[in-house]
A and B are shown apart, each in its own frame.
Chain A
Amino acid sequence: MNEEYINRLIELYFDGSTTLEQEDELRRILADARPPYSPQIESAMAVMGYTAVMQARPAVSRTSVLRRSRMAMMAASVSIMLAVGLCWMLVSGRYNPDNSCVAYVGGEKVVSAEEVMMIMDSQLNSISLAHDNFESELIEQHQAISEIFNQL
């Protein structure tokens, strides 16, 4: 095989004009070539070697791209549903991080709202008695002062 023919094939290859058969032929020629290599053969070897490596990488299949895309869409849908649900709970008042109704009685936690409110009522009742005593004493003191001023 003469050098002129090989160079012509290489030229067609770089022009992107080779047929599949011509490309296979060129690949065989380059595989059988022995040094010293002409500059044209070296260039062809470098390019065809790169092309071979790229062709060896597994192609991303259309199926896996579609699968990843569907999963991303599902994840986005779930996130949106969770966010909508949380917003609804907040707006409707069903969930309020500031709501609390709990008592700790001698170390025991009481979460029954009814019991907790009863504890509150009991405490306010105790305060009420003291408050009434305060007001009574205040009235007595006021009356005592009034009597003093009346006598002046």
Chain B
Amino acid sequence: MPADGGIGAPTKRREDVRFLKGTGRYTDDLNRPGQAYVFFLRSNVAHGRLKSVDTSAAAAMPGVVRVFTGADFEGVGGIPCGWQITDKHGEVMQEPAHPVLAQGKVRHVGDPIAAVVADSLEAARDAAEAIEADIEELPAVVDMKAALQDGSPKVHDDLTSNLCYDWGFVEENKAAVDEAFANAAHVTTLELVNNRLIANPMEPRVAIGDFDQAGGNSTLYTTSQNPHVIRLLMGAFVLGIPEHKLRVVAPDVGGGFGSKIFHYAEEAFCTFAAKALNRPVKWTASRSEAFMSDAHGRDHVTTIELALDGDNNFTALRTETHANMGAYLSTFAPSVPTWLHGTLMAGNYKTPLIYVNVKAVFTNTVPVDAYRGAGRPEASYQLERVVDKAARELGVDPIALRRQNFVTEFPYATPVAVEYDTGDYVATMDKLEEMIDISGFEARLAESKKRGKLRGLGVNCYIEACGIAPSNLVGQLGARAGLYESATVRVNATGGIVVMTGSHSHGQGHETSFPQVVAEMIGIDASMVEIEHGDTANAPMGMGTYGSRSIAVGGSAMVRATEKIIAKAKKIAAHLLEASEADIELKDGQFSVAGTDKSVAWGDVTLAAYVPHNYPLEEVEPGLEETAFYDPNNFTFPSGAYACEVEVDPETGKVTIESFAAADDFGNVINPMIVDGQVHGGIAQGIGQALLEACVYDEDGQLLTGSYMDYAMPRADDLPFYAVDHSCQTPCTHNPLGVKGCGEAGAIGSPPAVVNAVVDALQRAGKTNVTHIDMPLSPSRVWAAMNQ
């Protein structure tokens, strides 16, 4: 292993030095010469007809450069959706137009009506107040089921209804599933809400448009998880700028959690306005704007039914979900409740028959899209809650019921279209039981009771699909793009390496973990390898970071490119050593001739590549730079078992997490410290969803949780120390590193563990009528459930 850390080393994150010292370079740190600032006038009503927008007074205000409205974007494309779902009748989804600035109607609080560009932000804000927007307020629809009723207000007048699609999966199995339910010995039913969340990355979104009149080139600096995707979507579908005339740069990005995947109107506006005005235009979201313009997450309402035979084997599963799309279709929105949710409904279990129905619904709310886990937390939560409820109804141990139904043979083809390549659910459950001291629970319960507190233990499993995704598969499923990843490995003359990758790091630690792989392969120090990402001018076309795909897909591309480098370097070494290429071995950065003491160092070979004085020019080109694109042939399937122990204050309903344990199988691990950190962060977000976070609208579509005064984020003292283990490793069978991905696991596995634990605590205290409480399990909700 390289002295400063190869594969498997807990190397400290090199990027943290600049982040912790305040020397990170975020988009808002960038300022272009002569830049102007834009302020968006946003709708304060959820639904209304735009009768007129008079900008004349605003345009005359001091410092104002120009005021734009929806009329300026006639003939410009709308914000596109990247995924098309075909519904259960074979019809394609209803896809409304999404103009950059509102045209005709406003459809949610925060919908941009006009944009004021001025010499300063204050001047832009002052002028925005002088805009006269005459809006005829219309009745708003927020509740999904109400939105599907006849006579409901229509979010989009030109669509037939508020139903985006009605998806059945797998439609051909429905009759068999229904029959299995008719024949079941026991059926457990649960209705639940997966609460709407706001991602709240530490860094709000920022966009700077820049235009080089001399060359006719546009540049967008933006807070994105995938700059190439933004270049493609914005260039091709919105502004009509060919990719060779458009550069997108996403420098240091302070967290995304999904919310910075999508192409947003503000990005298109700044790029458009910079060209129109021949002047850089900058937008920095305030936190209040972030609450009402960043895509929200989750927001599913589900009824799930589990059928069991007389021996407690799962025989069928049936779900009906309403999924909120918000007012427009965000980039990935249609795929979240379908292909990222329906395909995971088998979970860790060999349930033979599954039918999933999803109705996606337009409402007068902010668009909803992928948020850490994206569809998989929703699937896991339903399944692990209904299994827990079934165990209680049947009077069997919830862990034993799970074990009895585990998939144990791999590869395993689920009835919901995916094939798990590998896994060992028994091993992670064994590990979990070892970590949590179940036999000591009764004593801990008694101790809590002495202090007047209730105590409960919740256990669950999860499976997820990462490494998104095989392009040929997602193409069949409605993706309008491929989902490969790319890497260029550029070796310099003196042996140092720059890897340019399409994977974007916005907190994941790629700058540390990616070099560990290359260093290990060549046998040089990791400090000789640098990662560049986030600039379409440097990195080859890549699809970016989401779905825990970076190491599994981007890392694999980097491995393939490094293999090409090594193959070429061996040719050069063979020439230098006057040996046959087949006899060259690479170890610890030395090329040697097998069976001899003849060798040449990595640096000698790289120098020869760029100073080809003694070089086989007729056989090998000079230089040492290779590119690879990697497209996986399957998803990866991380899995695990989680446990949570809680105390509940019966007088106030307040839940305290006493302990939390996670036993994960991520396959091979590159940097275990970074993996620990990813799991910790994921669990914190999952506990946030389970106990604290909720995005709430009132019936008129006003956002009641528009600031941190009302939107409860988890804080350090809400969280316990976690016991985290990833020693159970069944390597992925189809990517070169055997890795699976760890970024979302914590957020997927933890909500059901918390809710199972709280319900367990109440049940043990004799509250046998409490079989479920919807998240977040705030003190008032738990108290209400106990006193219903």
* A associates with B: no
B residues engaging A (CB < 8 A)?
Answer: none
A residues engaging B (CB < 8 A)?
Answer: none
